[in-house]
Amino acid sequence: MAGIGFELKRLFSKEGFLLKLRANLYASVVVSGPMLLGAILLLGVKYISGLAGASRHEQDLLIVVITYSILFPLLLTSTISYVLSRYIADMLFEGENRRILPSLYGSLSLLLIVGAPGWAVFLYLSKLPIEYSLLSFALFCESLVVWMQINYVTAIKNYKSILIGFASGVLAGLLIGYLFVRLNFDVVGSLLVGACIGYGIMLIVYTIVLHKYFPMGSGSSLKFVEWIDKYPALAFVGFFTTLGLFIHLMLMWASPWGVQVHGLFYHAPPHDIPAILAFLTILVTTVNFVTSVEVNFYPRYRLYFSLLNEGGTLGDIRKVYLEMLTVLKHELFYLAQRQMFVTVIAIVVIAGIIDNIGLGFTTMMIGLFRVLCVGYALFAIGNSVMLILLYFADNKGAVFSAFVFCIINTLGTYYTLSLPENYYGFGLAAAGFGMSVVALLRLSFYTKRLEYFVLCKQPIFVAKKMGLLTRLVHKFDSAN
Amino acid sequence: MNICIILEGSYPYVRGGVSTWVNGYIRALPEHEFILWTITDLESKQGQFAYNLPKNVVAVNEISLDTALKIRVRKNPKTRFSDRERESLAQLIRCGEPDWQVLLTLFSKQSRSPIEFFMSEEFLDILKEFCNDEYPYVGFVDMFWTIRSMFLPLLYLIGGSMPEADLYHSASTGYAGVLGALASKKFNKPFVLTEHGIYTREREEEILRSDWVVPYFKSLWISMFYMLSRLAYDSAHAVTTLYDRAGLIQQEIGCAADKCGIVRNGIFVDTFGAIPPKSSGDWVDIGAIVRIAPIKDIKTMIYTFSRLKQDFTKVRLHILGGIDDEEYHQECLDLIDYLDVKDISITGLVNIKEYMQQLDFTILTSLSEGQPLAILESLAARRPVVATDVGSCRELIEGRGDDFGHAGICVPPMHQTELLNALVDMCNNEEMRLTMGEVGYKRVKAFYEHEKMVADYQNIYQKAIKSWQESASS
């Protein structure tokens, strides 16, 4: 007789579901730490070069070359850093530690093959002196490696190493740069060498940390590419958020405020400097997310999903669900409150201090600083909500939020360029606001129907779908 | 007349009682055209026929439960349901009394795919209500997947295309019963349900034994099959089974008594009656015409035979039939090895009529049977039978109100000692064997002739058509 049909496989538990997803969220959170330290490096370089009596042009050149050489690799790695984090989390979960290092070298080769020639062309077109070009090229490659390594170090939650690596690199770089300057070497060259050595130190520290933790590994180094096919949303989230965070800088470089420093190297100091300072104010949310939201929300979150996965009754699930949402609401509220508190202090107190001590700030720049503070604060809140969406596997919602941020910032900044200068910065503010609103609405909509999204929307079966990239990798692997 | 026979996991894919019956039945009615509507569990079995189809089979409509897994979800699934639809779906999931007409319309081709229902918020709400009411202490997600697993194949079957015919004839309840009932509703045609075994009970036993259904969901699975049977019984214009006891069970499950009838199995008695008696010799040869499967309890047969061998050296056991369960087959071989019994041969599929010449009597140790052809054929060939008292075996051996006498010995299932005693009696007493063989021949000639069976089914069709006309006019 025909059997009773079949039993549907519970894809759900086999996947280990959402619990693993958490790991990749750290990346985005902790990545802003190094970004902040990068900002400190820039300020340090500027200070030392000023001290050494470098010309205005030399100072500017230093800053733009270093900024460009670490910013573009960051944008490049952002395209795959979320996906890679997910890959690493999956491999860690499955105990496949040996597949992890190969993916680092695979992804590095991939990005270097794309990025390095691109950067070489950029440098060539900029007609930078050859020795600066070489240093910039080295810095580009180093920072690309470092950004990528950070994904891996965060995955093993070795935050201390990240910060130690970064801090020691920045410190050593500045120190060596300073030494060379004192020895009367060319200022720009010295500090570029310093930056290269600084990033070189980070690279070595992270390499040691990673090789200590993971085995040399085996298997395809391009296996992770399949994860781009599997979770394309993560690639978009990473890319849109990072691009959104910097697009207004680039637009300003291209604007009438933009000044050509050398070749294709532009900057817009009246905008750049307030932006870097304002960016520092979201550190509070970065820390808050890890220490408070994570700590208080995550246990409920985990309980909720383990109840779902491991046979919790409807009543229990309901109860934990309500608790989880209550905690989430509180945490997000506190997070926003703290961010706003710091932002208000920045707007009132810090802006006042800057105004008083000068630092070369014009009234216009102080106004811009205030607007950008609000913009980054709103972004920090929206970004946190977006991370929560990712917690709930709402990839669609997360991508949409990130996209809204990126697109409003692009169009908004572009539009404000046609307005009087005191409207500058409102593009970012509108983008942060838009992202927060979209992400919050989505979160509210989604969590109301949470069981529907995590259960019903689950496919009844998994179609073995081979994406384009996966097939390419298979071809590539079999050719070897 | 264009008759659609609906079959589940039997003809024409595997050999067995129902398959033999369908094959002979269709061939006996060349004046009618038949459509086979067959249900298998796996799509890979489609087209793998164990029979050459008779000429009057005009179409085969194959459908597999696992195809349900291949249904694609549309880009914009429709996930809203009317109140009536919702109520029917809720009843369905509770294994209650759904309005099948509503479900049929809802899931018919082009309208809605079952996956859309299982992915809807409506489904989640219905499930939560059900869980709250009936299963508050059961893992919700387990429940979620169980319900999806249970009803996806069913809704898929309901939504499939249905062949048109003048009369629908299901050979079992279950999925085949559902299709027969719904097609009869859809095209407004009479529906006949003729059961060999009692499907509901077979599924119930299978589920209770199974290790893949979590214990606290077993009752749910079983109630689903009861619900399906109720639909088939309610919709059928005539219902038959093979023997009285089975008819009573049908009524117990919910079939109206006035619908129930008995049509006994039939064989071509004379093709077996013509088989000459075994040429006498020192050896006693016992035949077991069975598939190798646990339900046939071949191990008890082997154990008992090994005890029989201690008293009789010149006795042989021939197990004649295909291997249904490879694992069980190996276990039987290991057992023979372990007991170190000689003179057991497992032949595989053979020509029974030829092989019958070498046999003195036959044995059947099944745990469950309907009206086994093995016994009918053995009796027609004047070979008495030792069989377990399951299904209608006793009726065949001892008669149902006739005075022919005993055509063999009936023993309780799994009872080695009683079985041994019966075998010893048979082996000791050649004269008794011959008398019993003669009784057997007379009985099957009188009641179990193929022609009679075919005529009986024709009468059932007429009865069904009449009842259908009456229900249409009232």
Residue A22 has pLDDT above 80, yes or no: no
**pLDDT tens column, B328-361:** 999 999 999 999 999 999 998 899 999 999 999 9
Give yes or no for A14 touching B (CB within 8 A): no
- pLDDT score of B59 more than 80: yes
Distance CA A454, CA A306 (A): 13
What percent of chain A is predicted at pLDDT more than 90?
A: 24
A451 part of contact set with chain B, CB < 8 Å: yes
Higher-pLDDT residue of A12, B399: B399
**Radius of gyration of chain B from Cα atoms?**
24
What are A6's two structure tokens? 């079949």
**3-class state of residue A134 by DSSP:** helix
Inter-CA distances, A78 with A28, A71, A85, B412, Å: 9, 11, 11, 75
Please report, in angstroms and rounded to a whole number, the separation of the first and last CA atoms in chain A. Answer: 49
Q: Minimal Cα–Cα distance from A320 to chain B, Å?
A: 14
Q: How confident is the model at residue B324 (pLDDT cuts 50, 70, 90)?
A: confident
Q: Would you say residue A6 has pLDDT above 70?
A: no
B 222-281: CB under 8 A from A: none
- Helix ranges (H only) for A312-460 are 314-345, 351-357, 363-391, 395-416, 426-448, 450-451
Is the pLDDT reported for residue A151 higher than 90? no
Closest in B9, B69, B120 to A1, CB measured: B9
Gap from A452 CA to chain B (nearest CA, Å): 6
pLDDT band for A15, please (50, 70, 90 cuts). Answer: very low
Q: Which residue of A has its CA nearest to B19?
A: A1
pLDDT of residue B445: 94
The number of C-alpha atoms within 13 Å of A423 and in the hemisphere containing its C-beta is 11
Range name among A357-371, A414-428, B398-412 with the lowest pLDDT average: A357-371
Which of B8, B120, B139 lies nearest to residue A311, judging by beta carbons? B139
- Which residues in chain B have Cβ-Cβ distances shorter than 8 Å to A7? 149, 212-213
* Segment A426-443 mean pLDDT: 95
Confidence (pLDDT) at A157 = 67
B293 touching A (Cβ < 8 Å):
no
pLDDT of residue A32 exceeding 80, the answer is no
Cβ-contact A13, A309 below 8 angstroms:
yes
Q: Is A53's Cβ below 8 Å from some Cβ in B?
A: no
Q: Is the pLDDT assigned to residue B295 strictly greater than 90?
A: no
Residues in chain A closer than 8 A to B140 (CB atoms): 308, 311-314, 317
Optimal mutation site among A9, A15, A313, A446, interface B, most CBs of chain B within 10 A? A313
Q: Which residues of B touch A18 (CB under 8 A)?
A: none
Report whether pLDDT(A378) > 80. yes
Distance (Å) of CA A47 to CA A56, A156, A174, B142, B185: 12, 35, 10, 63, 88
pLDDT band at residue A467 using 50, 70 and 90 as cut-offs: low
Q: What is the pLDDT of residue B211?
A: 78
pLDDT band at residue B298, thresholds of 50, 70 and 90? very high
Specify the 3-state DSSP secondary structure of A136.
helix
Choose the mutation target among B144, B200, B203 for the interface with A, i.e. most A CBs under 10 Å. Answer: B144
Angle formed at CA B231 by CA B171 and CA B454, multiple of 5 degrees:
25
CA nearest to B143 within chain A = A311
For residue B3, list its beta bridge partners: B34, B167
Q: Which of the four pLDDT bands, split at 50, 70 and 90, describes residue A25?
A: very low
> For A336-363, what is each residue's pLDDT tens digit?
999 999 999 988 888 778 777 656 778 8
Nearest to B342 by CA among B363, B315, B368: B315
Q: What is the per-residue pLDDT for A116? A: 92
Q: Among A228, A353, A342, which Cα is nearest to A285's? A: A342
Tokens matching residue B316? 């042989």
Q: What is the rounded distance in angstroms from the CA atom of residue B322 to the CA atom of residue A150?
A: 64
Strands B344-348, B361-364: parallel, antiparallel or unpaired by DSSP?
A: unpaired
User: Among partner residues B41, B136, B210, which is closest to A5 by beta-carbon distance?
Assistant: B41
Residues in chain B with CB shorter than 8 Å from the CB of A460 are 69, 115, 118-119, 148, 152
pLDDT of residue A51: 82
**pLDDT at res. A10:** 39
Contact assignment for A5 to B124 by CB distance below 8 Å = no
Q: What percent of chain B has pLDDT over 70?
A: 98
pLDDT (0 to 100) of residue A168: 86
Q: Does A465 touch chain B (CB under 8 A)?
A: no
Q: What percent of chain B has pLDDT over 90?
A: 66
Given a cut of 90, whether residue B10 has pLDDT beyond it is no
Contact residues, chain B, for A306 at CB < 8 Å: none
Residues on chain A touching B210 (C-beta within 8 angstroms): 4
Q: CB–CB of B141 and A311 under 8 A?
A: yes
Which chain A residue has the Cα nearest residue B8?
A2
Nearest CA in chain A to B202: A1
Element (H, E) at A285: helix A283-288
pLDDT band for A84, please (50, 70, 90 cuts): confident
A/B interface, count of CB pairs below 8 Å: 94
B101 or A464: which leads in pLDDT: B101
Say if B151 is an interface residue toward chain A (CB within 8 Å): no
Say what the pLDDT of residue B27 is.
94
Q: Indicate whether A1 pLDDT > 70.
A: no
| Model pLDDT for residues B202-242, shown as the tens digit of each residue | 889 888 888 777 888 889 999 999 999 999 999 999 999 99
Chain A residue numbers touching B118 (CB-CB < 8 A): 456, 460
Tell me which of A147-156, A316-325, A433-442 is least confident. A147-156
What is the rounded distance in angstroms from the CA atom of residue A339 to the CA atom of residue A436? Answer: 13
CA dihedral (A385, A386, A387, A388) positive or negative: positive
Whether A312 sits inside 8 A of B139 (CB atoms) is yes
Please name the residues in contact with B179: beta carbons below 8 A apart, sequence gap of 6 or more. Answer: B6, B37, B39, B157, B162, B170
* Residue B124 at interface with chain A, using a CB cutoff of 8 Å: yes
Closest residue in A to B70 (Cα–Cα):
A461
A292 touches chain B (CB under 8 A): no
Residue A231 pLDDT greater than 50, yes or no = yes
Rounded to an integer, the average pLDDT of A72-85 is 83
The predicted structure's pLDDT at residue A359: 62
Say whether pLDDT at A436 is over 90.
yes
Separation of alpha carbons A290 and A30, rounded Å = 9
Nearest CB neighbour to A452, from listed B41, B124, B137: B124
The pLDDT tens digits of the residues spanning A45-69 come to 888 888 888 788 888 888 888 888 8
- Range of lowest pLDDT (A95-99, A204-208, B11-15): A95-99
Is residue A265 helix, strand or coil? strand
| Interface probe with A: pick from B65, B76, B145, most Cβ of A within 10 Å | B145
CB of B357 within 8 Å of a chain A CB? The answer is: no
- For the segment A92-115, the average pLDDT, to the nearest whole number, is 86
| pLDDT band, very low/low/confident/very high, at A27 (cuts 50, 70, 90) | very low
Is B120 within 8 Å of chain A by CB?
yes
Q: A247-281 pLDDT, tens per residue?
A: 888 888 888 888 887 888 888 888 888 887 888 78
Whether B145 sits inside 8 A of A10 (CB atoms) is yes
Is A363 part of the contact surface with chain B (CB cutoff 8 Å)? no
Minimum Cα–Cα distance from B42: chain A residue: A5
Is residue A395 within 8 Å of A21, Cβ to Cβ? no
CB pair distance less than 8 Å for B152 and A460: yes
Cβ–Cβ contact A130 with B under 8 A: no
Picking from A5, A10, A455, the nearest residue to B124 by CB comes out as: A455
Q: Which of A217-226, A399-408, B43-52 has the lowest mean pLDDT?
A: A217-226
Residue B115 has its nearest CB partner, among A5, A317, A460, at: A460
Taking a contact as any Cβ pair under 8 Å apart, which residues of chain B between 185 and 214 contact chain A?
Answer: 199, 202-203, 206-207, 210, 212-213
A355 lies within 8 A of chain B by CB: no
